[in-house]
Amino acid sequence: MRQPDPATGADSRPTYLPTIREMPAEERPRERLRDYGASALSNGELLAILLRTGSARENVLAQAGRLLTRWGGLPGLARASFAELCEEYGMGEAKASQLKAALEIGRRLAAALPEERPEVTRPDDVAGLLLTEMSLLSQESLRVVLLNTKNRVVGIREVYRGNVNSARVRPAEVFRDAVRETCPALIVTHNHPSGDPAPSPDDVAVTRDLVRAGALLEIEVLDHIVIAGGRFVSMKAQRLGFS
């Protein structure tokens, strides 16, 4: 007979998670893709199809969800190295290869179809791209949305993770990819894990420095969007850091 946990008095058995085969057919990722199309699936379900199998400790949907949380969504997984993915529980070289290959195909497809890139014409467009993911982050993250001459998104890059303040943020890092890809404009975004999107004095100082640096580089900083708790603030609209 299994003994209770001596520390808590509770049963120490792990929570049972059904395997994919044990789930109802209408809840299985492959069957859902077949019946409703890939666009109806969540990122976790799509990732689960790529990974194919889970482990003794978790089914493949749980594994996919853990990886997305651990790395901050698909962009974070795309930035993770092959070695880092192999170190994740239940991964190994085969799964890491499948994941890296799929993400690279997605990147190449986006590059091959520039007309399909989302267009940014107002703060809501940026929020639509990043609000959900960045609202869930437990650490501050500063990202730049790179834009072409038609205000279409060329890419989104994370520049800093951790404490985002005027002493740490270096314009050279923020503008590096924009210079490399000859982007004429960008939008800065970062989150407040506190849940309050109100810009801080440091946010204003960072924005002012980046606007000035962008003018020297001939790269326009169109806005600085602060995200928190499912809400956002456009610092350009609030005239904070923009003269």
Domain 20-112 grouped into CATH 3.40.50.300:
no
Distance, CA of 87 to CA of 103 (rounded, Å): 18
Element (H, E) at 49: helix 43-51
Q: Where in the chain is the domain with CATH 3.40.140.10?
A: 116-234
Distance, CA of 103 to CA of 92 (rounded, Å): 17
Helices 29-36 and 43-51 cross at an angle (nearest 10°) of 120
Distance, CA of 41 to CA of 158 (rounded, Å): 25
Contact of 115 with 147, CB cutoff 8 Å: no
Phi, psi of 177, rounded to the nearest 5 degrees? -70, -30
**In 3D, which of 213, 175, 189 has the Cα closest to residue 130?**
189
Torsion of CA 10, 14, 19, 22, to 10 degrees: -20
The whole-number pLDDT of residue 206 equals 92
Distance, CA of 25 to CA of 34 (rounded, Å): 11
The whole-number pLDDT of residue 4 equals 44
Q: Where in the chain is the domain with CATH 1.10.150.20?
A: 20-112
The whole-number pLDDT of residue 6 equals 41
Query: What letter does residue 231 receive in the DSSP assignment?
Result: E
- Fold category of 116-234 in CATH: Cytidine Deaminase; domain 2 (3.40.140)
The whole-number pLDDT of residue 12 equals 44
Secondary structure (3-state) at 123? helix
Q: What is the mean pLDDT of each run of 10 residues along the chain (243 residues)?
A: 42 56 79 87 90 87 91 86 92 93 82 69 89 85 92 88 74 92 94 93 93 95 94 94 88
The whole-number pLDDT of residue 19 equals 72
Q: Which residues contact 38 (CB under 8 A, 6 or more apart)?
A: 46
Q: Find where tokens 């890139």 sit.
A: 117
**In 3D, which of 138, 119, 123 has the Cα closest to residue 223?**
123
The whole-number pLDDT of residue 203 equals 93
Phi, psi of 13, rounded to the nearest 5 degrees? -65, 140
The whole-number pLDDT of residue 2 equals 41
Sign of CA dihedral 240, 243, 140, 108: positive
Contact of 179 with 164, CB cutoff 8 Å: no
Contact of 177 with 155, CB cutoff 8 Å: yes
Q: What is the pTM of this model?
A: 0.56
CA distances (Å), 39 to each of 28, 68, 111, 217, 230, in order?
A: 15, 18, 20, 39, 23
Secondary structure (3-state) at 4? strand
